[in-house]
Amino acid sequence: MDLAIIAAKQVAVLFVLIFSGFICVKANILKTEAKKHFSDLLIYLIIPAMIINSYLTEFKPEILSNLLQAFVLGTVLVLLGLIVTLICSLKIKDKNAPIIKFTCTFSNAAYMGFPLIEALFGSEGLIYASAFVTVYNILLWTIGIAILTKKTDIKEVAKSILSTPVLFAVLIGLALFLLRVKVPEIIQKPINNIGSMNTALSMIITGILIASAKFKDIVANKLLLFVIGVRIFLIPLTCLALFKALSLSGTVPAIVLMLESCPCASITSVFAVKYGYSENLAAGCVIVTTFLSMLTLPLMAYIITL
């Protein structure tokens, strides 16, 4: 019951943030054009700061093996989610097929997942969760961007990857963690403050998108039902079945399963703006799957902790 309350509170916070963006547009405080500038700020400053900040934690040699396990299992589950998505979306010919594939593949692991992981496994669990999110970010900014940009040329994809600050943020964060670098508070605090803006700004952008569209247009798209089925139900159940078949259990497997079971990544709306896909569809995927996760995440937590 405590876990269900935590999940409900996280969803409520998200919807309040979305509503604030919606109100700002309706009250003429913000123009809809602001979404593009906010998106750039998020991608090039706030997200890199969030990633680096996740690694500014005390190094403990005894948890290194579990950390490596989290990297490996995280990679397996995200790639498994990608395979499930690609198979299920073979017959989708819609122009928004790339954003649908992205939406189904990448979960909102950091914001929705971290509070649940902390409740179940304590502060040590967050370290393994950070390992998952590192793998997640590497794959998102490689395979994910390749899906969205439709670039199949290896050189072009590599150029796209190397031009983003997120990959460098992951490398910097790992270096600071593994080398046990003590970052001065005068630097750490600003990084933490900037990174903490991630969820709020992502949801405000979603609210701006909603304010510029009719709600019925957001939820009426048939592709939304596809995303719900794959992201919320099929991928988590497939990952759970794999772990059961391999007899994988314990803290790390439970953590990565919870994170892979989260709803659509909030950055989906940002990428819809950046790459010219349906903003209504992207916003609908984030909102509806987030709402449904209020029920599905506690249920998954209950199943894997039996």
pLDDT the model gives residue 135: 85
Angle (CA) 80-85-88 rounded to 5° is: 125
Name residue 107's beta-bridge partners.
Answer: 264
pLDDT the model gives residue 18: 84
Q: Distance between CA 306 and CA 303 in Å, rounded?
A: 6
Amino acid identity for residue 10 in this structure: Q
Q: Distance between CA 77 and CA 84 in Å, rounded?
A: 10
pLDDT the model gives residue 240: 94
Report residue 248 as tokens: 């994988």
Residue 15 class from Cβ within 10 Å (0-12 exposed, 13-18 middle, 19+ buried)? middle
Three-class secondary structure of residue 90 per DSSP: coil
pLDDT the model gives residue 150: 76
The DSSP code for 62 is G
Report residue 287 as tokens: 């909102």
Burial 57-75 (b: 16+ CB within 10 A, else e): eeeeeebeebbebbbebbb
Give the sign of the dihedral formed by CA 24, CA 30, CA 31, CA 35.
Answer: negative
The DSSP code for 199 is H
pLDDT the model gives residue 194: 93
Stated pTM of the model: 0.78
pLDDT the model gives residue 122: 74
pLDDT the model gives residue 106: 94
pLDDT the model gives residue 60: 72
- Asked if 273 contacts 39 with a C-beta cutoff of 8 angstroms, the reply is yes
Q: Distance between CA 301 and CA 306 in Å, rounded?
A: 9
The Cα-based distances of 223 to 93, 195, 208, 238 in angstroms read 11, 32, 21, 21
Q: Which domains does the chain have, with CATH numbers?
A: 2-304 (1.20.1530.20)
How confident is the prediction along the chain (306 residues), in pLDDT tens digits per residue?
565 677 677 777 878 888 899 899 999 998 888 877 888 888 889 888 888 887 887 777 777 788 889 999 999 999 999 999 999 999 888 899 999 999 999 998 876 777 677 777 776 777 788 788 888 888 888 888 888 887 666 676 666 667 767 778 878 988 888 888 889 999 999 999 998 888 788 888 878 877 876 667 666 778 899 999 999 999 999 999 999 999 888 889 999 999 999 989 888 888 888 888 988 888 888 888 887 887 888 888 778 766
